Amino acid sequence: MGQLVARGHELTPHPDQADVLVVNTCSFIDPAKKESVDAILEMAEYKRIGRARKLIVAGCLVERYRGDIRKEMPEVDALVGVNELSSIVALCEGQEAESNPLEPYLYHDLTPRVLSTPRHFAYIKIAEGCDHPCTFCVIPQYRGKFRSRRFESVISEATRLFQQGIREINLIGQDTTCFGEDFGMRDGLAILLERLAQIETPREKWIRFLYAYPNKVTQRLLDTIAAHPALVKYMDMPLQHASAPVLKRMKRGASGDIFLKLLERVRRTIPGVAIRTSFIVGFPGETERDFEELCQFVQAARFDNMGVFAYSDEDTSKSFALDGKVDGRAIQNRKRRLMAIQRKIAKARNRAMVGAELPVLVEGLSKETDLLWEARLATQAPDIDGVTLINDFEGSEPHPGEIRRMRITEAHDYDVVGTLLEASEAAPGYAPAPLIHIAL
């Protein structure tokens, strides 16, 4: 989007108004592939009946099924793989692509960028690719080996975003905890977070990182999070399972007991930390005993936020060749049962917050009703965790992008409700920007 806008093109969220349709795809698991294909077919129809004259497909689906797309989808005019992003302008303008698909792509602070998020938070990708051998994952095959962005490039981009009024930055990558290792840095993520926390801003800022690999969580990283108020007390650490035999077949290692000790260390070092994780149920060879062990682990761990994925048998993953495949119905039953356990835990943790006064980042009017405002606690990452609903406020009306204190008055399974207290900072002075998309 940044390259196209820099070239003078206009983005539109309305596919019937677009001259060129660009579908950015994912192919990580079967539901993502299906959603991607459905989007391509939907846009192909707009090309047939609308003003669009070109349909371009980009992203991971291209990496996995380039030949199949060319053969089975003649409506598609051009393909853009994950290392060919610099060719998007030429392809939209009907020229030949000049990028080298074999040269690993990684954007930097000078790469043109258009934020697709509201004006008060943004994502920064600090690394690309992955070197972990997880047998269920196909990311390394299509995203390549792990590579970090240059340290100063990340600092420069974050500084610019804060100067533009961004209040919250979320650092992402396939494995953020390996940041800097390819440059020979030790505790690179901790060093980066410390520098980011020291960036001077006129108002309070939030910084979080996502996707910590458990055996890469060092004591220095935990100490750094605990030491700086700007670093939100939040850890997203996908553990994938708790049974040692299953983790071994996943090529993840460790066990539930090891994870419980790690969680205890995280909570001891960072008072009030919220921990999010995710698990895969139905992995090949997962027995009823393995699943029961996972259930007991979740009850003992008391996660603040948790996601559960049904195992997806990807034909290019190493787990595809494993025996002991679990029946699809059993997988779905296990997923429902594990989420039912977590639902009770999450509701109990939310109830414990009733009466507390905590800072929230105001998002805007609720997507459900104009009668409520929506906000997020520092312990709620955008899009993946629950939200905080505002049903009353004291003093001035809320403004998107404000960080204000809120009194929690109600608790639900995953969301909380409360009263926004009197503003302690000046209103940011702007309305939320609309979400910008290439027609999709």
The CATH number linked to 38 is: 3.40.50.12160
**Is the residue at 109 inside a domain?**
no
- Count how many domains the chain has: 3
pLDDT over 70 for what percent of the chain? 95
Q: Is the pLDDT reported for residue 181 higher than 70?
A: yes
Q: Which residues neighbour 385 within 8 Å (Cβ) at sequence distance 6 or greater?
A: 276, 305, 376, 379, 414
pLDDT in tens, 402-429: 999 999 999 999 999 999 998 766 544 4
Shared domain for 337 and 416, answered yes or no, is no
Q: Is residue 98 part of a domain?
A: no
- Residues 146-180: tens digit of each pLDDT: 999 999 999 999 999 999 999 999 999 999 999 99
Query: Residues 349, 304: contact at Cβ < 8 Å?
Result: yes
Question: Closest Cα to residue 207, out of 216, 195, 223?
Answer: 195
Per-residue confidence band for 440, with pLDDT thresholds at 50, 70 and 90: very low
pLDDT at position 424: 66
- Between the alpha carbon of residue 246 and those of residues 134, 233, 313, 322, 338, the distances in Å are 12, 30, 15, 12, 16
What pTM was estimated for this model as a whole? 0.92
pLDDT of residue 436: 34
Q: Which residues contact 242 (CB under 8 A, 6 or more apart)?
A: 255, 256, 259, 279, 293, 294, 296, 297, 298
Mean pLDDT of 200-229: 96
In whole angstroms, how far apart are CA 15 and each of 19, 20, 32, 55, 439? 8, 9, 21, 11, 5
Question: Which alpha helices (H) appear in 126-204, and where do they start and end?
Answer: 139-143, 151-163, 188-197
What is d(CA 146, CA 188) in angstroms, rounded to the nearest whole number? 14
In a domain? residue 139? yes
Using pLDDT thresholds of 50, 70 and 90, give the confidence band for residue 434.
Answer: very low
- Report pLDDT digits (tens) over 261-285: 999 999 999 999 999 999 999 999 9
Containing structural domain, residue 292: 121-351
Kindly report, residue by residue over 95-104, the tens digit of the pLDDT: 887 766 667 8
Residues 287 and 376 in one domain: no
pLDDT score, position 431:
37
Is residue 229 domain-shared with residue 362, that is, in the same domain?
no
Chain segment 347-385, per-residue pLDDT in tens: 999 999 999 999 999 999 998 888 899 999 999 999 999
Q: Which residue has the higher pLDDT, 139 or 125?
A: 125
Same domain, 287 and 407: no
Quick one: 127 and 235 in the same domain? Answer: yes
Whether the CB-CB separation of 236 and 379 falls below 8 Å is answered with no
165 and 70 belong to one structural domain:
no
Is position 425 within any domain? no
Rounded Cα–Cα distance for residues 421 and 419 (Å): 6
Same domain assignment for residues 31 and 174: no
Co-location of 86 and 146 in the same domain? no
User: CATH number of the domain that 255 lies in?
Assistant: 3.80.30.20
* C-alpha closest to that of 239 among 221, 220, 223, 216: 216
